[in-house]
Chain A
Amino acid sequence: MESDPKKTLLNTPSRIVHRFPLDGTGLKRLTEAGLAWLRTNQQVVNALNVFPVPDGDTGTNMVLTMQAAIDEISRVKENNAGKMAHAIAHGALMGARGNSGVILSQLWRGFARELDSLELVDGESLVRAFRTARDTAYKGVVRPVEGTILTVAKDIAAAAEEALKVTQDPFEILEFIVPAGELSVQKTPELLPVLKEAGVVDSGGKGLFFIFEGMLRYVQGLSLEVSTVAVPLSAMKLEETMESIEPGQDFEWVIDFRPHTPLQIDTFYSDLEEMGTSIQLGEGEGIYRLHIHVPENKRDLPLHYTFSLGTVTKATFENLIDQMDQSAGKSHNHPVVLTPVKNGEIAVVAVSPGDGIGRVFASLGAAAIVQGGQSMNPSTQELLQAFENLPTDKVIILPNNKNIIPTAEAAAELTAKHLAVIPSKTIPQGLAAMMRLIPDGDFVSVVDEMKSSLDEIQSGEITTATRSVEIDNVEVKEGQIIALHNGKLVYASESIEDACLGLLEKAGTEDYELITLFYGDTINQREANRIADIIRTKYPDQELEIQEGSQPHYHFIISIE
């Protein structure tokens, strides 16, 4: 790193408040803190995905990988640092998801190997372990791509060696490498053109930085619960906050405001933490969107507070207790009724991203539904659990997503049952296959029949681009509505209805007979009906059906047959 380490360390006095021996337990505490902070910033990392389809990618993958590591060590009573590191590495290996997850597990593997069975980590062994972690990670690829998590790991290892010249204390080394990691992340677009084009930093590198920053925040006594950065507006996931309402947090504010002076994020968050919970801050083109849950006695504070900072452009206020009662009632009205399967019959397991689509699969005879889709791939284990207890040995899986097909195939290798994977890449393909199911038919011929149905249907998906990009000669700006035809980007537009029409045109709808619209949880029934009417006017000869799909991310999933 360019700056002189001695100077930097002297200029910023250490702010460490918790010191503990870095034995097995100490290492465990730091790792847990790293995961907690990564989880808090999961959406920030996810928002850095380069491809414009909203999937939970890097942030989620890294959290799941680290979670597997923590699960592994939750039972370990070991107080030997090296042995603890080996357990962490083993858990990370077993749970590694995605590219960044695999690299993360390799970093842990190298780290653990260097520590071997060392009782207590000191500055020197920590720096050696960082170095071996870096070397191990770099060995895993023929042509390492710079500007990724690998580069950040390399820069952190280099910074640690510099730090060792002035301090032997592992915590002070940590204090030194976190800013170096941040700098390294900021520089990733200069090394990797695809990042620069998309205007983002590398997501894996950022995730690794958050793990280290979480460890540092923990020893500095700072909160790991509330993020200190604003996420892009399009990446805010307000619906998820409904699941985590604490007692006494009865009211929800969503306030859009434009600050008069640049927002001091640190003080902003600490002021808000005084008022309530579930705090989220989004940012886009100078506008900030604040989300917070507050108790009765602090009901008006967020509004007064944002007024004091700048111009409030929009504020919505909801009574959560009332809202919770309603949503509980709603899902109660339409339970998913699965088809019981008899001994020897063919059972179908369908992967579904939303309750509504799950209900449609169930009504067509699915014996089990596994939650999953674009943002959340189910694990092999979840698929296995769905059918292992069914009273039949003939099972068909409909993955209904390109990325879930390999998981389903892995399940096929692990089970003793006859398992066939119908490679359905979209919901419409899955439904088309489902129509061909004959539960008491001959397994091989039913599978063939279902497979052959996949090409007979056109699939459309309408979603919001999470960033600006140009793919397949279609130029997309962040926040635009995009249409995917059979998984391929074909059209971008400002409105959902226009995107639907663009898609139907690209799919050659005039040659087909039936259009089915599944509306997602971003759209209410009235809005869906309005768009359906527009489509009916344009395609009077085609029959149009409309169904509640309640899938996340996708405004509409459309089948054309």
Chain B
Amino acid sequence: MSEDTTPIGSIHVSPRAIATIAYHAARQSYGVVGLAPKNFMDGLAQVVVKDPTHGIEITYDGEEVNIDLYIVIEYGTRIKSVATSVANTVRFQVEKALGMPVNEVNVHVQNLRISDID
């Protein structure tokens, strides 16, 4: 829960709301062809209920927002460049929407999708 205090009260933003922004930013980022469950249980839950924030983990320690992305990348792209781009895009979009700095964006490449073999 990120917080901000204004003269008329405080603003709370839930991790889920932040995750939704990050999710849309990640899906628009080039080279990212999907988000992935970070473990088996998460994957199982995804089968039961489709969650628009799966593959994204937000941690907030009272001061800083950290984002973990679990993504699938297109086979045949330069993984390092794609991962850097998605981290930058997510950071930019979240910071723009939230108006507060994001401390870390960690990218976990969970899998590659092979559409074409050269």
Contacts and interface: CB of A to CB of B under 8 A. Distances in A.
Interface stretch (A99-107, A290-298, A496-504): A99-107
A139 B77 CA distance: 11
Interface string B60-97: 00000000000000101110111111011100100110
Given A96-B81, A97-B81, A103 B118 contact: no
Contacts of B34: 142
B94 to A, nearest CB: 12
A105 B31 CA distance: 11
B64 to A, nearest CB: 10
A93 B77 contact: yes
A365 B31 CA distance: 40
Contacts of B46: none
A112 B31 contact: no
Interface residues of B, number: 29
Interface string A84-121: 00100100011011110111011001001100000000
Contact of A102 (B33, B81, B99): B81
A146 to B, nearest CB: 11
A163 to B, nearest CB: 26
Contact of A136 (B85, B89, B116): B116
A102 B118 contact: no
B115 interface: yes
Given A97-B81, A106-B76, A471 B30 contact: no
A143 interface: yes
Contacts, number: 82
A348 to B, nearest CB: 22
B19 interface: no
A525 B104 CA distance: 37
Task: Give the interface size class of chain A.
Answer: 20 to 34
Contact of A406 (B29, B83, B89, B96): B83
Contacts of B101: 486-488
B59 interface: no
B80 to A, nearest CB: 6
A141 B78 contact: no
B38 interface: no
Contacts of A98: 81, 84-85
B28 A145 contact: yes
Nearest to A380: B80
12 contacts: A51-B92, A94-B78, A103-B30, A106-B77, A109-B76, A141-B27, A141-B29, A141-B31, A142-B32, A406-B84, A472-B99, A487-B101
Interface of B: 27-34, 74, 76-78, 80-85, 87-89, 92, 95-96, 99, 101, 115-116, 118
